[in-house]
Structure 1
């Protein structure tokens, strides 16, 4: 991830740069080291689709429930996406005279909140109870540094001296782990949530999980035999990684072949809106429909750091971002078909934005935020969580009333009952989870 100062709407979905008003918003030392460590495997890393990348954690079973964690990198403004009504809207309007979402434009929602109008494609899911939100959610204490907050959320254990990501810990309590248990496609930039002792595997795209390009005339068997012979005497970590990677290539070969020949019964990027999420979500849907054992998938959708030019409901940066997000998620669930009954999506962002707009018609780093929940098992159609209101703020920010770990734990315990006794391992800081009612 790199940084520029260009406003967000100019973002090109095919570039890896991310507009940001924060000097130094680029790869940090920890994530660099995690990525370098991943290179000990034959195929390792993360998937980068322009401004998005995906990490996948696999289990050995088929027919799994799947949790997709979509991270809105840069600090998305929850008060623009899920907007309070009533007196709190009046307070918000006074604080944001140029950028507040008008009451008349709100869609969906409930008595106390409405959704940004760009969420219109997802209103049928809201009305059906498979799309909901939790507001005033975040870290136990304010942290307005992008990378510190990202790491705190992805570690989900602020006192963990080993710095192991919460997905890695979740995979670690799953028996029979193989390299596919933690898989990421694209670059070698592993998210913090994946950092830790559980194995990781990756490639630039599904079709690349082969020893030679599958559209060539080369035979895989001689190449694999040569690699096996070359590494047969190596019992070190590198040798074990090579053998593990070859095993994964063999196990995923049917899916990889279908992706390589652009089999539209499994991979349908043309059905998604053009933009940063087009390839990442179409490939994610292909993985889930192929039923190769996926359990945890993370998707990064950046470009939310709107220090300037946030825009209005008729044009601008926020409209562009939410429009692409909503249309892409609609296409994703449509693409899943019957597999959608196994899939739950949860969104996260490192922090919210200030309640008051700044002098550049944007919003600086804040605290409390919103998490969106969609899909299987979700108790939607309403906004959950204790609402602190906007009359009393935390240093100018929306206060947090719900620990984000409680939301994640409700989802995990509901969708993966076998893990319901593993809270102390997965979320060691979460002594007593809050009861939110996120899941049905």
Structure 2
């Protein structure tokens, strides 16, 4: 699908429109690696019995992986105004240099990211430009799978986050979870347990509702499985423990703390729930959240209108509210924003951008060394020009993993030797 064919009036390629269904089909097969138990709209994938964790709120390091689905244009989010080709290649959609925020001699942030300036000015937000996959891949579905497996050329059939939690000898089903709408990412799938919840209030046993006044249904389920010692019985017992352990998060107050106000979109709702999970101290260390649609073949727009202004505003407002809500707990939370690939350098005829290669990664919160990072490759202005990748995205993730969890990256990114990026303190 290269070069892309763009149809006026369509903001999304056919592949991305279907990618949700395609990913569900792929991930359905991945469930065979463990036992999936469904409670209402919640899925608990369990491969081993959980280990209870009574750590107080904020004691654990937490990493939130926020996926910008659809291939976000890093050149619009973090603008290389110092490269003259940028403005030449985008006569209608280039962000004017005099409107950028957090501007230095070469880079600046899209003004819609202004809500994040307190984090940036406090040295708690970093941008790693020209980052991405080791080789171009313009297919949403294939690129997502490659990005989330993070083991190219390997026979390993698990995601990098599943391997991360697998470093623990006996990980809990609550150690990693997906929050919000959509399918859990392939990064979470593998032999280790994790929790997926569209709404954290739904993390309960099926039938445990207002009509079960005597709590008979959950009691019957526990009795039924209490004597089973096979794999399914062990999985059910682990799921019962997970539901019980998650109770403080499920019943926690919904009102944000510290006067935070979340936007009323899906990202805002998801991050509000993540803040409740962090605050409840149930032992969750890895959380994934999705935000889309960033597949802007048309209507990227400018500073007055368009999809880029809308999406960047949603992203910034939700993240700003999240860190305000967390308050001092934000000192334990690191957010990683990444996308499967970027967009072309030159705009197309429909005020849009077709599939490209390199993009930008954003890091926010605990352990982040603020500022602009990465090696700039320079831009060229032609129909098929890409932002080339000079930083393998795994090098960025490896620094986060090592800095926040003290974990050897060899098990998480097999066969890969990270290059130093310097976006995390001590790395």
* TM-score bracket relative to the smaller structure: 0.7 to 0.9
* 1:189 paired residue number: 183
- Residue in 1 aligned with 2:47? none
1:436 to 410, 413, 421: 421
In structure 2, do the counterparts of structure 1 residues 116 and 361 end up closer, same or farther at CA, with 3 Å as the change threshold? same
User: Deviation string for 1:219-262 (max 9, x for gaps)?
Assistant: 5753332112222343333322221111112212233223xxx5
Aligned partner of 1:81 in structure 2 is 77
Q: Distance in 2 between matches of 1:7 and 1:220?
A: 55
Paired position in structure 2 for 1:239? 233
Whole-Å separation in 2 of the counterparts to 1:82 and 1:220: 56
Q: 1:237 to 1:190 in 2, by over 3 A?
A: farther
**DSSP-derived class of the 2:288 partner:** strand
- Corresponding residue pairs, total: 406
Find the aligned partners of 2:67 and 2:230 in 1 and give their Cα distance.
35
- Is residue 355 from structure 1 mapped to residue 345 from structure 2 by the alignment? yes
Alignment TM-score, normalising by the size of structure 1? 0.85
Q: 1:399 aligns with which of 373, 388, 405?
A: 388
Question: d(CA) in 2 for partners of 1:311 and 1:36?
Answer: 43
Inter-partner Cα distance in structure 1 for 2:52 and 2:70: 30
- C-alpha separation in 2, matches of 1:93 and 1:148: 31
Q: Quick one: which of 177, 182, 185 aligns to 2:171? A: 177
* Residues 292 and 303 (structure 1), Cα distance of their counterparts in 2 relative to 1, 3 Å cut: same
Aligned to 2:144, what secondary structure does the other structure show? helix
Q: Deviations over 1:95-150 (max 9, x none)?
A: 11111111111111322101101011111221111111000101111111101111
| 2:408 matches 1:415 | no
What is the Cα deviation at residue 58 of structure 1? Answer: 10
| Equivalent runs, 1:87-126 vs 2, <5 Å | 88=83, 90-126=84-120
Q: Distance in 2 between matches of 1:185 and 1:69?
A: 11
- What TM-score do the two structures reach when normalised by structure 2? 0.87
Question: How far off is 1:211 after superposition?
Answer: 2.9
Query: What is the correspondence of 1:4-83 to structure 2 with a 5 Å cutoff?
Result: 20-23=12-15, 24-28=18-22, 29-34=25-30, 40-43=36-39, 60=53, 62=55, 63-83=59-79
Q: Deviations over 1:377-433 (max 9, x none)?
A: 1111x210111111499951011100100001111111112x1xx2211011312x1
1:264 Cα deviation (Å)?
A: 2.4
Distance 1:293 1:58, change over 3 A: farther
Q: Give the superposition deviation at 1:77.
A: 0.2
Residues 100 and 220 of structure 1: CA distance in aligned 2, closer, same or farther (over 3 Å): farther
For 2:330, the equivalent position in structure 1 comes to: 340
Distance 2:308 2:414 in 1: 35
Q: Which residues of structure 2 form unaligned runs of 5+?
A: 1-6, 44-49
Distance 1:242 1:98 in 2: 57
Aligned counterparts of 1:230 and 1:400: Cα–Cα separation in 2: 55
Unpaired stretches in structure 1, ≥5 consecutive residues: 9-18, 48-56
Alignment of 1:254-269 (within 5 A): 254-258=248-252, 262-264=253-255
Task: Give the SS at the match of 1:40.
Answer: strand
Q: What secondary structure is seen at the aligned counterpart in 2 of 1:80?
A: helix
**Paired residues of 2:129 and 2:375 also in contact (CA < 8 A):** yes
- Tell me how far 1:363 sits from its aligned partner: 0.5
RMSD: 2.8
Q: Quick one: distance in 1 between partners of 2:222 and 2:36? A: 17
Q: Is 1:378–1:438's contact at 8 Å kept on the other side of the alignment?
A: yes
Q: For the structure 1 residues 97 and 187, does the alpha-carbon distance in structure 2 shift closer, same or farther, using more than 3 Å as the test? A: closer
Give 1:294's aligned residue: 284
CA contact (8 A) 1:39 1:188 kept: no
